[in-house]
Structure 1
Amino acid sequence: MSDTASPQTTGPDAATAYQPTGRTVPTRSRDRAAYDRELVHSILDEAYVCHLGFVRDGAPVVLPTLFGRIGERLYVHGSTGSRPLRESGRTDPG
């Protein structure tokens, strides 16, 4: 695979894997990325804390927060008045 190519998910396991996109393919160590649903879910289910990143006033901000997964949906702990959660429903939250 060349440095500009994205990993492809095809074949019999395609239905059980997430499709890579330009935003989910790392620019470094691409061979370490995994898109298998069972693997992704097992990693998420092992953790309680995630790092929620967003842009505030042109600068990146990263906040540790609690989360949980039910099926394909992630639930993030926080106030509905907080900037990250207010902005999460926008088309381009930044």
Structure 2
Amino acid sequence: MTALPPIPEVERSITPPDNTANSLYRTLVLPAEAASKAANAKDLLYPRVVGYLLLYIPNIAALATLKRDLASCNSEDQGGFQAIYELGEYYVKNFIIIC
């Protein structure tokens, strides 16, 4: 899967403009991707899935759910970015593979 786009591109891509989504992308998703990439981790796919979902989610209700799920990753005590990896894995297994 292709690397996530830089922040300026994302700020133009998320429509309608959404400061919360942009902030979650900048503070959680991009750092999780960078950490996986630096560690050559098998989990690299999962933060990318979450990031691309923020960019291309099909409707406002789904975006609200994704933002809530992603924000909860920021408050969980799972060390590092494990909660984001698990969220991405959840979306892969329960939505993407099914389609």
Q: What TM-score range do you get, normalising by the shorter chain?
A: under 0.3
Structure with greater strand percent:
1
Query: Which fold has the larger relative contact order, with Cα–Cα distance below 8 Å and residues 6 or more apart in sequence?
Result: 2
Q: If the length of structure 1 is used for normalisation, what is the TM-score? A: 0.25
Q: If the length of structure 2 is used for normalisation, what is the TM-score? A: 0.24
